[in-house]
Amino acid sequence: MNLNQITVPSVDLTKSIPFYEKLGLKLIVKALPHYARFECPSGDSTFSIHQVENLPKGEGIYVYFECENLDDYVTELMDKGIEFEEKPTDKRWLWREARLKDLDGNQLILFYGGENRLNPPWRLEENVKK
């Protein structure tokens, strides 16, 4: 099994599409006003947004995008006007993360986990990925 796509809710795709393009995603499906899908700049995953009348309540959705050159990428996005809630920071789970929210309040985490993404020191021995 492989994760193909994540879909998040949006109230107004005409505003959300330019935001995600500014993040570096490539628009591949534009079915306004209800749906849009993007291709990630690396790998084979896609990301989509779909129109909703009301956004979910509570903490919402967390989406992680891995970036090998995280600090440089965050600087580049800030130069484009993207605002971050948290700039790149080393986390106790051995990832480096930067956090921001999209226009609908979905939490986006740009991170670099390196070897620790799949094989943290606390990974179950019998399931170590080689």
In a domain, 130, yes or no: no
Classify residue 129: in a domain, yes or no: no
Count of structural domains, the chain: 1
Confidence of residue 99 (pLDDT cuts 50, 70, 90): very high
The CATH number that applies at residue 107 is 3.10.180.10
Residue 64 lies in a domain: yes
Amino acid code (one letter) for 49: I
Residue 47 in any domain: the answer is yes
Model confidence at 84, in pLDDT bands (50, 70, 90)? very high
Q: What percentage of residues in the chain have a pLDDT greater than 70? A: 97
Number of H helices, E strands in the chain: 2, 8
Smallest Cα–Cα separation from 24: which of 36, 12, 38?
A: 38
For 74, the token pair is: 């965050």
Residue 77 lies in a domain: yes
